[in-house]
């Protein structure tokens, strides 16, 4: 195995990603909710995005315009949605390339209208309502409603598609019946004033699935924007103890090669100062331990503690930009230089690994 490939390798199981997407699409559809499949966690890779499309996601969404433009060129067969409030400097590229964007600024919407008019194209907007997480969105609902009415009544090329909220990102707020009902009330007020239904009432991301699973989702919510639960499924299962039957957690597997195996003390020798990233780690003296160095580092994975070793008895103890150290003392296998270890992951390593040019991607696809 060691000679055939150059590591690190990221194995991507397309069938598993399809399975997860399909399960969640079915679950949501049964409850009157469509899914916007969020592709920013894997750098908008078209091969992976196609699985989300095949599984029935209604839109393909990302925070990064470049990824949506790439997917458009690739010919993705769904409407695209920009989920980060657009920069004024990217509007020219966004209009005509992206179908929908989330918005919270009057000035930005005005500029979208001007560019749409010039290009003779339509653009749909979802106005964001901040229900307490304190990232994007109108905190003042009157302001949101005023902009909604202005778009509906005065703009020609910008279309009011719906409203939405984002929860659990900056403020770490949990979705609740209260905060999502607040969004629904705003939606109802707008609908009364414009005399038609909004197409989209978007109730958040992966974390909002908890309300659905508890049977408490307000019925007016008809869209969720999902990335994490489709891709790694750690949040619901590991942090919140919600188990959706049959969702995979090993869609992405990192293979990294060992470059050194030695017995060493577990406590550094000399005056402890700062590590390579300016942090002051705490070390526990566990005596002499057998450990291995892998040729992968923070540049590829972000933080090592978001990786999950697949072999029993392996513990990740540290990393710098290009190295990762694992304690292998308790591992039953005879681990040696050249061996390759496998790791599952939470969201952040997927984000870094998929975007890294130094990491080879291998796609697994068996079923179809
Ligand atoms: C990233 C993002 C999502 C998707 O979040 P997940 O936790 O991956 O499901 C949804 N909405 C917005 C606005 C985002 O930025």
Q: pLDDT tens digits for 174-212? A: 899 999 999 999 999 999 999 999 999 999 999 999 999
- The pLDDT score that the predictor gives to residue 3 is 57
Q: Which of 200, 205, 223 to mutate to test the pocket of ligand 1 (most atoms within 8 A of CB)?
A: 205
- The pLDDT score that the predictor gives to residue 359 is 97
For residues 43-71, average pLDDT: 98
Compute the distance between CA of residue 233 and CA of residue 296 in angstroms, rounded to an integer.
23
Asked if domains 31-233 and 252-364 share a fold, the reply is no
Q: Which CATH architecture has domain 31-233?
A: Alpha-Beta Barrel (3.20)
Compute the distance between CA of residue 60 and CA of residue 198 in angstroms, rounded to an integer.
19
| 85 within ligand 1 shell (Cβ under 6 A) | no
**Catalytic residue status for 40:** yes
Compute the distance between CA of residue 346 and CA of residue 250 in angstroms, rounded to an integer.
10
Total-model pTM: 0.95
- The pLDDT score that the predictor gives to residue 367 is 65
Q: Which of 3, 6, 40, 290 is catalytic?
A: 40
Residues whose CB is less than 8 angstroms from the CB of residue 114 and which lie 6 or more positions away in sequence, other chains included? none
What does the block give as tokens for 87? 């920069």
Q: How many residues does the chain have?
A: 368
Please tell me the CATH code under which domain 252-364 is placed.
2.40.37.10
Interval 105-148: pLDDT, tens: 999 999 999 999 999 999 999 999 999 989 999 999 999 999 99
Compute the distance between CA of residue 212 and CA of residue 64 in angstroms, rounded to an integer.
28
Nearest atom in ligand 1 to the alpha carbon of residue 206 is 9
Residues forming beta bridges with residue 112, ordered by sequence position? none
For residues 74-78, average pLDDT: 97
pLDDT at 1 over 70: no
Q: Where are the beta strands (DSSP E) in the chain?
A: 9-13, 34-38, 59-62, 79-82, 100-103, 123-128, 158-164, 200-202, 223-226, 252-265, 288-294, 307-309, 315-319, 324-327, 340-345, 360-364
pLDDT at 2 over 60: no
- The pLDDT score that the predictor gives to residue 150 is 98
- Top-confidence residue, 1 or 15: 15
pLDDT at 169 over 90: no
Among candidates 244, 241, 204, which has minimal Cα distance to 226? 204
Domain spans of the chain?
A: 31-233, 252-364
Interval 216-273: pLDDT, tens: 999 999 999 999 999 999 999 888 888 898 999 999 999 999 999 999 999 898 888 8
- The pLDDT score that the predictor gives to residue 173 is 84
Structure confidence at residue 274 as a pLDDT band (50, 70, 90): confident
Nearest atom in ligand 1 to the alpha carbon of residue 235 is 7
pLDDT at 59 over 80: yes
- The pLDDT score that the predictor gives to residue 201 is 98
């Amino acid at each position: 195995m060691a000679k055939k490939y150059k590591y690190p390798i990221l194995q991507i199981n397309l069938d598993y990603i399809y399975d997860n997407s399909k399960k969640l699409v079915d679950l949501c559809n049964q409850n009157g909710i469509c899914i916007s499949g969020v592709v920013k966690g894997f750098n908008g890779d078209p091969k992976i995005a196609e699985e989300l499309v095949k599984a029935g996601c209604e839109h393909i969404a990302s925070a990064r315009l470049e990824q949506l433009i790439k997917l458009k060129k690739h010919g993705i067969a769904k409407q695209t949605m920009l989920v980060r409030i657009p920069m004024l400097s990217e509007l020219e590229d966004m209009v005509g390339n992206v179908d929908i964007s989330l918005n919270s600024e009057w000035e930005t919407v005005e500029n979208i209208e001007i560019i749409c008019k010039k290009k003779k194209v339509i653009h749909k907007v979802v106005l964001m309502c901040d229900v307490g997480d304190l990232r994007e969105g109108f905190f003042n609902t009157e302001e949101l409603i005023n902009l909604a009415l202005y778009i509906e009544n005065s703009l020609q090329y910008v279309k009011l598609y719906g409203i939405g909220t984002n929860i659990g990102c900056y403020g770490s707020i949990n979705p609740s019946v209260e905060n999502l009902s607040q969004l629904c009330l705003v939606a109802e007020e707008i609908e009364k004033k414009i005399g038609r239904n909004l197409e989209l009432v978007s109730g958040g991301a992966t974390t909002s699935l908890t309300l659905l699973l508890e049977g408490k989702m307000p019925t007016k919510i008809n869209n969720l924007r999902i990335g994490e639960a489709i891709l790694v499924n750690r949040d619901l299962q590991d942090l919140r103890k919600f188990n959706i039957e049959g969702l995979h957690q090993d869609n992405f597997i990192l293979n990294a090669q060992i470059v050194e195996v030695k017995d060493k003390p577990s406590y550094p020798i000399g005056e402890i100062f700062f590590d390579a990233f300016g942090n002051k780690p705490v070390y526990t003296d566990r005596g002499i331990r057998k450990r291995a160095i892998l040729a992968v580092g923070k540049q590829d994975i972000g933080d090592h503690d978001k990786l999950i070793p697949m072999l029993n008895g392996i513990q990740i103890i540290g990393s710098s930009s290009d190295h990762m150290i694992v304690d292998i003392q308790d591992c039953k296998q005879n681990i040696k230089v050249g061996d390759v270890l496998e790791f599952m992951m939470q969201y952040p390593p997927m984000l870094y690994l998929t975007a890294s040019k130094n990491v080879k991607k291998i796609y697994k696809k068996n079923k179809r």
